[in-house]
Amino acid sequence: MKRTANWSYPTTVWFGAGRIAELPKALAQAGIARPLLVTDPRLASAPMTVAALAGLEAAGRKAGLFSAIQPNPVAANIAAGVAALRAGGHDGVVAFGGGSALDAGKVIAFMAGQTRPMWDFEDVGDWWTRADPAGILPVVAVPTTAGTGSEVGRAGVVTDETTHTKKVIFHPKMMPVVALCDPELTVGMPPYITAGTGMDALAHCLEAYCGPFWHPLADGIALEGMRLVKEALPAVMKNAADIEARAQMMAAAAMGATAFQKALGAIHALSHPVGSLYDTHHGMTNAVFVPYVLTFNRPAIEEKLARAAAYLGLPASFDGFFGWIMQLREAVGTPPTLKAFGVDDSRFDLMARMAPLDPTAGGNPVKLDEAAALRLYHQAYEGRLGA
């Protein structure tokens, strides 16, 4: 194998409990004087958001507020956000919330000064070079969940309403200038969201580690990210106020998003069509698919997962790792099947055509074609592991 690769690492991260108080300082570092705070409807009136807005006003950086974002953001949400940004004369974005708000905020800032349609910047080849870099506004990212890791990413996922497909909008300058990671902001998450976002962080680390490409730096980060999830997610589910465990989960989320520059795979490729058609929670949808995809990939990843299991203090085998995954899913309340998740089987043929075309499919260690995707959807619906 020729050892040639291009690697990159995340932006400046200010990490620690209580650091939301430094948001005005982060905006100053980013050169943002008139921010638009982008969040979701649930958080728009939450105490943490009200406090953040008040803190900005007291510091002389009064922010506008935009919250018309769906759980799986669609193009219309981005267009409305860009319109609000321009109308308010804002010069940057505070992306504040979970993955949907972070992704939407970054894409709104990216599209603020572009003249081409958003889909012209899908993460395909060198399409990102079509953008005008001078039209991209700076972003400060403030995650309030511990899952997607979008705060350290250079892309945003947006659903194309016309095709019901999730697309990745990418540009290197979409990277937030500062990621302000305060684990205290995650304490109020409902148990279901804590579980779903935590399993999302795990899926990112797991698929990055199992990816077929050469990236030993990402492998190390992904492996330690899985260890943090193993220790911290059960602890958080038992005690929502455990700040140490919350901090570990927030770190694992950023680690997963750093590591998956190496690869994602069939977990995400199968999950994205479900999310776009049924508007399900992304992280929990990933969690449903994990055991079925691991079984499908076993011939290519058995040795890797034996090494991972040893590092995690499990029996050093694929079965040792798999057993832990099954126990964790049950402990956090992951639905065991698509049927139990409320997803019917009426559109499996359509989803099986969509999944191999998803940009994450190419990173799966075993080729995911339409026939394999259809088989996996049926297995995940019925709860069958293997053929």
DSSP assignment string, 44-81: HTSHHHHHHHHHHHHTT---EEE----SS-BHHHHHHH
Q: How many CB atoms lie within 10 A of CB 60?
A: 9
pTM of the model: 0.95
DSSP reduced 3-state for 96:
strand
- List the one residue out of 295, 315, 316 whose CA is nearest residue 304: 316
Q: Give the pLDDT score at 5.
A: 65
Q: Could you tell me if 62 and 94 are in contact, meaning their C-beta atoms sit under 8 angstroms apart?
A: no
CB of 107 closer than 8 Å to CB of 170: no
At which residue do the structure tokens 């990418």 appear?
170
94: enclosing H helix or E strand: strand 92-97
Is the domain spanning 191-382 CATH 3.40.1380.10? The answer is: no
Q: Which residues pair with 13 in a beta bridge?
A: 179
Burial class (CB in 10 A: 0-12, 13-18, 19+), 367: exposed
pLDDT in tens, the chain (387 residues): 557 666 778 899 999 999 999 999 999 999 999 999 999 999 999 999 999 999 999 999 999 999 999 999 999 999 999 999 999 999 999 999 999 999 999 999 999 999 999 999 999 999 999 999 999 999 999 999 999 999 999 999 999 999 889 999 999 999 999 999 999 999 999 999 999 999 999 999 999 999 999 999 999 999 999 999 999 999 999 999 999 999 999 999 999 999 999 999 999 999 999 999 999 999 999 999 999 999 999 999 999 999 999 999 999 999 999 999 999 999 999 999 999 999 999 999 999 999 999 999 999 999 999 999 999 999 999 999 977
Residue pair 166/142 in contact (Cβ under 8 Å)? The answer is no
Question: Rounded to whole angstroms, how far apart are CA atoms 184 and 145?
Answer: 10
Question: What residue ranges of the chain are covered by domains with CATH 3.40.50.1970?
Answer: 12-186
Q: Does the domain made of 12-186 have the CATH classification 3.40.50.300?
A: no
**Separation of alpha carbons 210 and 301, rounded Å:** 6
Q: How far apart are CA 328 and CA 232, in angstroms?
A: 11
What does the alpha-carbon distance between residue 27 and residue 322 come to, in Å, rounded to a whole number? 44
In terms of Cβ atoms closer than 10 Å to its own Cβ (0-12, 13-18, 19+), residue 300 is middle
> HSE on the CB side for 148, CA within 13 Å?
28
Q: Which pLDDT tens digit goes with each residue over 182-230?
A: 999 999 999 999 999 999 999 999 999 999 999 999 999 999 999 999 9
